[in-house]
Amino acid sequence: MQNPQPQLANLLSRRMFFGQAGSALGAAALASLAESPLQAAVRQSAAKAKRVIYLCQSGAPSQHDLFDYKPLLTQRQGEELPASIRDGQRLTGMTADQTTFPLTPSKFPFAQYGESGAWLSSVVPHMAKIADDVCFIHSLHTEAINHDPAMTLLQTGTQQPGRPSLGSWVSYGLGSENADLPAFVVLISRGSSLGNQQPLADKLWGSAFLPAEQQGVKFRGAGDPILYLGDPAGVTRKSRRQMIDAVAQLNRLEAKSIPDPEIEARIAQYELAYRMQSSAPELVDFRDEPESTFAMYGEEAREPGTFAANCLLARRLAERDVRFIQLYHRGWDQHLHLPRDLSRQCRDVDQASAALVTDLKNRGMLDDTLVVWGGEFGRTAYCQGELTADDYGRDHHPRCFTIWMAGGGVRPGIQYGRTDEFGYNVVENPVHIHDLNATILHQLGVNHLDLTYRYQGRDFRLTDIAGGVVKDILR
Amino acid sequence: MIEGDTTFSPPNVRLPLKLSLFQLAFVALSACGTNYVLADSPAEVRTDFSSKVLPILTQHCFACHGPDAQQRQADLRLDQPAQLFQRRDDRPAIVQPGDAADSELYRRLVSSDPDVQMPPAEHGGPLSLEEITTIKRWIDTGAVWSGHWAFQPITQPQLPAAYPGWSDEPIDRLVAQHWAEHDLSPAAPADREMLLRRVSFALTGLPPTEKEIANFLADDQPDAYERVVDRLLASPRYGEQMARHWLDLARYADTHGFNIDSYRSMWRWRDWVIDAYNANMPFDQFTIEQLAGDLLPSASIDQITATGFNRNHPINDEMGAIPDEYLHFYAADRTNTTATVWLGLTLACAECHDHKYDPISQRDYYQFYAFFNNVDDLGLDGRRGNAAPLLISPTNEQRQRLTLLDEQIGAIDAALADTRDHATSALAAWETSAEQDAAAAQPPADSLARFSLDGASDLVRIQRENDEETLFLAGKLDQALLCDGRTLITPSEPIQLGDAFSIGLWIYPTTASRTILLAAPDFTLALDHGALVYETFERRLHTAELVVKNQWQQVTLVVDGKSVTIYRDGVPLPLSPSELVDSMEVAEERPDVSGLQIARAGASDGFRGLLDDVRIYARVLAPLEAKRLGGGDPIGEILAKPAAQRSKAEQVTLLDYYLRKSDVKYADQVEQHESLARQRRRLIESFPETMVMRERADRRPAHVLQRGRYDLPGERVTADVLTCLPPLPTDETPDRLALAKWLVDDRQPLTARVAVNRYWRLLFGLPLVATPEDFGLRSQPPTHPELLDYLAADFRGSGWDVKRLLKQIVMSATYRQTSAVSSARWQADPTNQWLARGPRMRLTAEQLRDAALASSGLLSEQLGGPSVRPYQPPGLWEAISYGRDFTAQRYAQDHDDRLYRRSLYTFWKRSSPPPNLSAFDAPNREFCTLTRSQTNTPQQALVLMNDPTFVEAARVLAAKVMQASEDVDRQIIASFVDVISREPTKEELPLLRQLYQTQLAHYQDHAAAAAELLSVGESPAADLPAIPQAAMTMVVSTIMNLDEAIHAN
């Protein structure tokens, strides 16, 4: 695709971000852009997915205790990880000085579920019920071995700060289908783990060098759902309406002497803000949900700010055609006391994650909604700290981990990629973070090679200089 | 770029191509004169190459036939004239000047044979007809090669004639010369209100006051405007406005970024920038001090503080991360940032491989990097406060105060010594008298409280778990209390300690594990494996020597502000260096203690063992007193010795003791001395610390890192500048200082161009070079190349005088045009790149907030100091942060004046920057940002309408105008002037009056709502009737939401 000049991109993205408001710009400068060449150019084919719900599990859940069953670890429990398997792998500063690397099986029993026969552990009983709707990828891998660079890579395609996030790229490339809501929404919840809750940062949903309006907009569990949404105390909707009308009238007077089309755009943004003030509270108000919803998502969904409530909110956002819905659930960093803390984390997310997939399916929305579930890297097959009869921990592991995807044109009920019998190295169909991101964009109808933005003389893209679509997992 | 960086006439020139650019540039300068002077000569052809042909080659050819050796195909480079114009082996040169048809380059472009055609299909396929035509025309007209425009030496352009009837100032002539070509003519001069608002925001970031507007309107002297400009440039607000812009470039923040994102203290560097701009420090000095102030001969504190520029990058402290990986990140960040800010080059593109478009090899990159990788820093650091290397950096004011104190202390010292010199014989008489009694051995009697712990007492409450009985055993003095780890002693009368106090107690510990001895709201004293540990929110100190188990020992804690002494048996114990943490942090996980408690705090483990004779003093005990408290008798010991055997120190101690007892004047002076000494100590303790550059003694070697990976070092390299630019002088040691001087060397053409381009943008919104971060081959050529060079040459020639440059620009007729033009004129040049109207500037996030504070009168004018935490919606930091054990994890909002400081003082947490500034495009500051995006979103409307910052400003401004006049129209007009800098028109005023009436009617029916609205914000409510004030608040808020309020037209 031809690279738009920054100013052009600004105008374009603005109108796409809030499509309807964009058309209200009405300026001659934009008239020629009515067909939105950028949007047309990035569409390589009919999109399979209209939207993405990304259930990001921050801190890195252990694939060994959830998805990637390795009976060998039980057979050889406590034995040393063979050096040939580790093969010079660099370790974090937390286990680099450890003198022994004892193989550590999961404490949770595994069984096969569904017609697909997916192996899952006992700690995710609800996910077991959607095994046939899900594609498990066991061969994800990354370069980063610490949280900050790994999350930054997962979400922005590079380990260092400075690049736009996945959601911003999607928002930039495809814009919004709902004039009253942003294209890219972020929802955060804290985990119940008693251990580390790794931090998050605005850069993970930031727009970096893309126009700032492409950054994720946080919807919050407490206070205003969107920052500064609520009118100040003592100001009624009617007063606000009168004030916005006055602003528009006065701005139009200004436009008589300063014929800048931006002024008309600003008037439109005030209208949009006014509408958002009513639409967003309605969106986060679950009172119109039947009891069956809470039976499905769990009672926790009634409590704003929990993962379960965020999953339900994600479904409501998806119903309103929000393009990219990014959830983060914190607390998956089980270096120590994994059995205790992983159980707590799974209680937070298992039921609601499964409910979301089922709910979308029941509503006929799963076909065009891509759900992604996973963290930033995996965890080690060996124990960090002391391995006892019922306690252990696992360090960070970049060479393999499991994520799952559902809907949005991804083949359901399949297992893709394979790790060795230690669950340490990928032996079949490796999938890098860049491949995952290329695949997500592909399902949205975007060729990851074409979605570029010129900054500092270089055409940047989400997948940096790599990435390939994982065609095998697509319908 | 292209190696022969000057006009190059292909067939007959035989320049040795190995010559550096610099040498070539000089050959060209001396032999042919300069390029830009040739205003009406072949320059057109030359311009054609640089602006038309070179971009095509760069865009379509260089990826395979350019500077990147790894990607190069057919061993052909099109970025070097030699390869275009010279025979290759037995084949003719691919460009035959004057004959496109006979030139291989052209034939390849037009071939329809897919094996021959260039570019090949996988690289984008054939060029457009227009591009091919451009290249054909270039070859047919002689194929004159010239270098990339930005690498050419800067030359004073010949000035064109003035636009008829318009200004003949150089800037205006150089702007106007392009108008004919675009069928443009100058706009009328801006009216005075518009001009004053524009220039006030441009130079100070604040709107003009009502009085300033009135003065300017009334001033009919011809130099009225110039005096306004001079006033603005002399205002301290000028330095703040200019620093704000520099902070984005310098990626300044108050946290470390990355994973934990905890607190750092870099405000001294930020204040250095403000001061430098206010003092109009020349830009070359500004450059040298920030990049290499530490290497200047006898560098001052300020010069070293300035080097914080390249310590502002994020610093990681994630547990388990690998230090080398981050050392590389830091050095690369300094390299890339320095290249972007001063050279306008995208050096970062050469970190992993040769640059694809610019003549910068990967080796060049790591040579430049070598200037920055020898900093004495750690890969992982910043857990507690700043990351090494550090500097204690007192402010000017603090330094002056220290000098004054030293003088005062010196004077008293002299007086005391004099008194002592004259008192020797009196001392001898006293020694033989009966007065030297045994009272000297007693601990000081003036204690605030004393708990003997010999049994139940009204003075203290002793609690054990489950109301078990308290036990007293034989103690150091009579009985002692037995503590079992769950025993809590609370004074019956709560004791609030100030910041200077002493506490002594006898202990007989029976365990080694960590237990609490004393706890108060702002400190704890614990026993941890024998060490005595003193902890506050800010720091942790522990004794190196240990307390012994199962033995009576006396412990005294003496706190004097930040100075802490811990005595064991009257002997002071050496303390570990203090670990500094963020003093602003509210540490919620600390035990909840309201007053002094003994032996236990909260749920933590209490003291185990025996406790006896606790004495609390509301003052600092002197060492002698502490010794007595610890059971010693220091004076008695000296007196016991024959006078001849006493050491000098003992003699002074004794004499001092005697004089304090016998000479009232002496005792007063000693007290004064102690007070001054304490002030001095407190002053020194308050000196801020800042992160700076410092070289390592053993040099950290630099290598070319394969694929940019820290763990794949290749060839070793030494520090050097880019080979495509003039070299360092051979007699210079290649260090940062040499680099800094080279950046501002007259022969190096980029720095001045890059800088003036940025300053121009600051004033006009649009830069002359549309890609201010990239002056390389992929840059947008300047719209006004002659103007760019004029400004660059003039800036450099003036001794890099920033205020002079800015003044020259804002004095130009170009700047002073109106932006209110007809729609047709606007459409003729929508972005105003040809400058035939005045700039219409969107205010920045900081300007918007500052303007609201200023117009309401809330703005605090305090210059500099630690960052502040104004209003912010709750929970933002907490939702994403790690929490325990780290700083800047919870947002503790400030109060009073600190709510109303200018926005450049707002605390900047990288992982969660101030949300009301982010909404208006402020960056995260995780990396160098030259261009903020300029968006127009509904969130911005929400901020201006609903953020308490703006609502409170509206309320306070409403009160201000109501206090000034009772007439509603006058109130509306006055607030309009304060916000928009002009009076409302005849059309505008009725609309606002009508809005006022509807709001008034509404609040008359809803009096409680009026009171609610007036309670937004922490500033006190005005003594005015609530209903009209609420209505006027809505009117002012409306004015603050106008498009014109967020612009300077």
User: Looking at the domain assignment, is residue A100 inside a domain?
Assistant: yes
The fraction of chain B above a pLDDT of 70, given in percent, is 93
Report the range of poorest mean pLDDT among A435-449, B874-888, B923-937. Answer: B874-888
Task: For the beta carbon of residue B269, count every other beta carbon within 10 angstroms.
Answer: 24
Asked whether residue B27 carries a pLDDT value surpassing 70, the answer given is no
Asked whether residue B978 carries a pLDDT value surpassing 90, the answer given is yes
What stretches of A366-451 adopt beta strand conformation (E)? 369-374, 378-379, 396-397, 401-406, 414-416, 418-419, 426-428, 431-432
Task: For the beta carbon of residue A266, count every other beta carbon within 10 angstroms.
Answer: 24
The average pLDDT across B423-432 equals 80
Q: Is B995 on the interface with A (CB under 8 A)?
A: yes
Report the range of poorest mean pLDDT among B206-215, B225-234, B376-385. Answer: B376-385
Asked whether residue A2 carries a pLDDT value surpassing 70, the answer given is no
Asked whether residue B987 carries a pLDDT value surpassing 90, the answer given is yes
Please give the residue that has the higher pLDDT: either B436 or A246.
A246
Q: How far does the CA of residue B933 sit from the closest CA of chain A (Å)?
A: 5
Answer yes or no: do A235 and B1013 touch at CB < 8 A: yes
Cross-strand partners of B189: B817
Q: Is B284 on the interface with A (CB under 8 A)?
A: no
Q: Are B861 and B918 in contact (CB under 8 A)?
A: no
From B55, which residue of chain A is nearest by alpha-carbon distance? Answer: A457
* Ramachandran assignment for A331, one of left (phi > 0), alpha (psi -120 to 50 degrees), beta (any other): left
Query: What pLDDT score does A93 carry?
Result: 84
Backbone angles phi, psi at B904, to 5 degrees: -70, -10
Cross-strand partners of B392: B689
Query: What pLDDT score does B440 carry?
Result: 56
Answer yes or no: do A212 and B932 touch at CB < 8 A: yes
Query: What pLDDT score does B10 carry?
Result: 40
Query: What pLDDT score does B15 carry?
Result: 34
Question: DSSP of B773-803, one letter per residue?
Answer: T--STTSPPPSSHHHHHHHHHHHHHTTS-HH
Query: What pLDDT score does A421 carry?
Result: 97
Using CA atoms of B906, B912, B918, B923 in order, give the dihedral in degrees to the nearest 10. Answer: 90
Q: How far does the CA of residue A224 sit from the closest CA of chain B (Å)?
A: 9
Q: Are strands B479-484 and B608-617 parallel, antiparallel or unpaired?
A: antiparallel
Cross-strand partners of B556: B504, B567
What stretches of B561-651 adopt beta strand conformation (E)? 563-568, 571-572, 597-598, 608-617
Instruction: Select from A198, A456, A464, A465 the residue whose CB has the most chain B CBs within 10 Å, as the one to mutate to test that interface.
Output: A456
* Residues B463, B458: Cα–Cα separation, whole Å: 13
* Ramachandran assignment for B530, one of left (phi > 0), alpha (psi -120 to 50 degrees), beta (any other): left
The mean pLDDT of chain B is 89
The average pLDDT across B802-826 equals 97
CATH 2.60.120.200 residue ranges in chain B? 451-629
Helix boundaries (H) for A210-289 = 237-257, 261-284
Cross-strand partners of B571: B568
Asked whether residue A201 carries a pLDDT value surpassing 50, the answer given is yes
The average pLDDT across A299-324 equals 97
Task: For the beta carbon of residue B692, count every other beta carbon within 10 angstroms.
Answer: 29
Query: What pLDDT score does B39 carry?
Result: 31
Backbone angles phi, psi at B502, to 5 degrees: -140, 140
Please give the residue that has the higher pLDDT: either B578 or B742.
B742
Q: Is B913 on the interface with A (CB under 8 A)?
A: yes
CA B876 to each of CA A242, A303, B627, B764: distance values in angstroms, whole numbers, following the listed order: 31, 18, 51, 35
* Residues B209, B212: Cα–Cα separation, whole Å: 5
Which residues between 803 and 862 in chain B have a beta carbon less than 8 angstroms from any beta carbon of chain A?
819-823, 826-827, 830-831, 840
Q: Are B736 and B378 in contact (CB under 8 A)?
A: no
Asked whether residue A353 carries a pLDDT value surpassing 50, the answer given is yes
Backbone angles phi, psi at B503, to 5 degrees: -135, 125
Of A228, A272, A457, the CB nearest to B947: A228
Query: What pLDDT score does B115 carry?
Result: 86
The average pLDDT across A246-259 equals 96
User: Looking at the domain assignment, is residue A211 inside a domain?
Assistant: yes
Task: Identify the sign of the CA torsion B640, B642, B643, B644.
Answer: negative
The average pLDDT across A212-235 equals 92
Asked whether residue B446 carries a pLDDT value surpassing 50, the answer given is yes
Answer yes or no: do B778 and A457 touch at CB < 8 A: yes
Which helix (H) or strand (E) segment holds residue B471: the answer is strand B471-474
Q: Are B1036 and B957 in contact (CB under 8 A)?
A: yes
Nearest-5° Cα angle at B214, B211 to B215: 85
Q: How many domains does chain A have?
A: 1
* Residues A179, A280: Cα–Cα separation, whole Å: 12
- pLDDT digits 0-9 by tens, B10-26: 443 333 333 334 333 33
Chain B environment of A7 (Cβ under 8 Å): 831
Query: Radius of gyration (Cα) for chain B, nearest Å?
Result: 37
Confidence of residue B434 (pLDDT cuts 50, 70, 90): low
Confidence of residue A382 (pLDDT cuts 50, 70, 90): very high
Question: DSSP of B369-435, one letter per residue?
Answer: HTTTS-BS--SS--TTS--SSEEE---HHHHHHHHHHHHHHHHHHHHHHHHHHT-HHHHHHHHHSTT
CA B681 to each of CA B94, B401, B536, B865: distance values in angstroms, whole numbers, following the listed order: 77, 12, 18, 20
Query: What pLDDT score does A31 carry?
Result: 30
- pLDDT digits 0-9 by tens, B601-653: 877 789 999 999 999 999 999 888 899 898 888 888 888 888 888 888 888 88
Chain A environment of B260 (Cβ under 8 Å): 199
Asked whether residue B583 carries a pLDDT value surpassing 50, the answer given is no
- The CATH number assigned to the domain holding A141 equals 3.40.720
User: Cβ neighbours of residue B315 under 8 Å, at least 6 residues apart?
Assistant: B256, B257, B258, B264, B326, B330, B381, B382, B387
Confidence of residue B579 (pLDDT cuts 50, 70, 90): low
**What would the two tokens of residue A291 be?**
């009891």
- If you ran DSSP here, which 8-state letter would residue A43 be given? B
The average pLDDT across B222-249 equals 98
* Ramachandran assignment for B377, one of left (phi > 0), alpha (psi -120 to 50 degrees), beta (any other): beta
Asked whether residue B439 carries a pLDDT value surpassing 90, the answer given is no
- pLDDT digits 0-9 by tens, B82-131: 888 888 788 888 888 888 888 888 888 888 888 888 898 888 888 888 88
Please give the residue that has the higher pLDDT: either B705 or B51.
B705
Q: Which residue, among B507, B526, B514, has the nearest Cα to B593 in the 3D structure?
A: B526
Task: Identify the sign of the CA torsion A162, A166, A168, A173.
Answer: positive
Please give the residue that has the higher pLDDT: either A444 or B582.
A444
**What would the two tokens of residue A95 be?**
């286990």
Answer yes or no: do A456 and B349 touch at CB < 8 A: yes
Instruction: Select from B62, B360, B939, B980 the residue whose CB has the most chain A CBs within 10 Å, as the one to mutate to test that interface.
Output: B939
Instruction: Select from A16, A156, A185, A202 the residue whose CB has the most chain B CBs within 10 Å, as the one to mutate to test that interface.
Output: A202
Cβ pairs A/B, distance under 8 A: 260
Asked whether residue B30 carries a pLDDT value surpassing 60, the answer given is no
Using CA atoms of B88, B91, B94, B98 in order, give the dihedral in degrees to the nearest 10. Answer: 120
- pLDDT digits 0-9 by tens, B540-556: 888 988 888 899 999 99
Asked whether residue A349 carries a pLDDT value surpassing 50, the answer given is yes
From B875, which residue of chain A is nearest by alpha-carbon distance? Answer: A222
Query: What pLDDT score does B437 carry?
Result: 59
CA atoms lying within 13 Å on the CB side of residue B221:
9
Q: Which residue, among A186, A151, A469, has the nearest Cα to A324 in the 3D structure?
A: A186
User: Looking at the domain assignment, is residue A153 inside a domain?
Assistant: no
- pLDDT digits 0-9 by tens, B256-300: 999 999 999 999 999 999 999 999 999 999 999 999 999 999 999
Chain A environment of B942 (Cβ under 8 Å): 226-229, 273, 276-277
- pLDDT digits 0-9 by tens, A9-52: 443 343 333 333 333 333 323 332 333 445 555 554 568 999 99
User: Looking at the domain assignment, is residue A244 inside a domain?
Assistant: no
Cross-strand partners of B71: none
Residue type at B468?
E
Query: What pLDDT score does A45 carry?
Result: 55
Of A92, A197, A203, the CB nearest to B924: A203
Q: B54-75 burial, b for 16+ CB within 10 Å, e for fewer?
A: bbbbbbbbbbbbbbbeeebeee
Answer yes or no: do A250 and B820 touch at CB < 8 A: no
Nearest-5° Cα angle at B105, B102 to B109: 105
Query: What pLDDT score does A314 carry?
Result: 98
Query: What pLDDT score does A427 carry?
Result: 97
Backbone angles phi, psi at A106, to 5 degrees: -75, 145
Domain covering B451-629 assigned CATH 1.20.1260.10 in the classification: no
* Residues A475, A473: Cα–Cα separation, whole Å: 7
Query: Radius of gyration (Cα) for chain A, nearest Å?
Result: 23
Q: Which residue, among B632, B631, B618, B627, has the nearest Cα to B502 in the 3D structure?
A: B618
The average pLDDT across B831-847 equals 97
* Residues B879, A198: Cα–Cα separation, whole Å: 11
Structural domain containing residue A85: 41-148+160-228+290-473
* Residues B375, B694: Cα–Cα separation, whole Å: 6
Chain A environment of B348 (Cβ under 8 Å): 456
Helix boundaries (H) for B9-128 = 21-32, 43-47, 54-60, 62-65, 81-85, 104-110
Asked whether residue B198 carries a pLDDT value surpassing 60, the answer given is yes
Query: What pLDDT score does B591 carry?
Result: 55
Residue type at B70?
Q
Asked whether residue B47 carries a pLDDT value surpassing 70, the answer given is no
Report the range of poorest mean pLDDT among B57-66, B800-809, B948-957. Answer: B57-66
From B819, which residue of chain A is nearest by alpha-carbon distance? Answer: A258
Asked whether residue A431 carries a pLDDT value surpassing 70, the answer given is yes
Asked whether residue B61 carries a pLDDT value surpassing 70, the answer given is yes
Evaluate the omega torsion of the peptide bond into residue A149 and state whether it is cis, within 30 degrees of 0. Answer: no
The average pLDDT across A334-356 equals 97
Asked whether residue B40 carries a pLDDT value surpassing 60, the answer given is no
From B937, which residue of chain A is nearest by alpha-carbon distance? Answer: A269
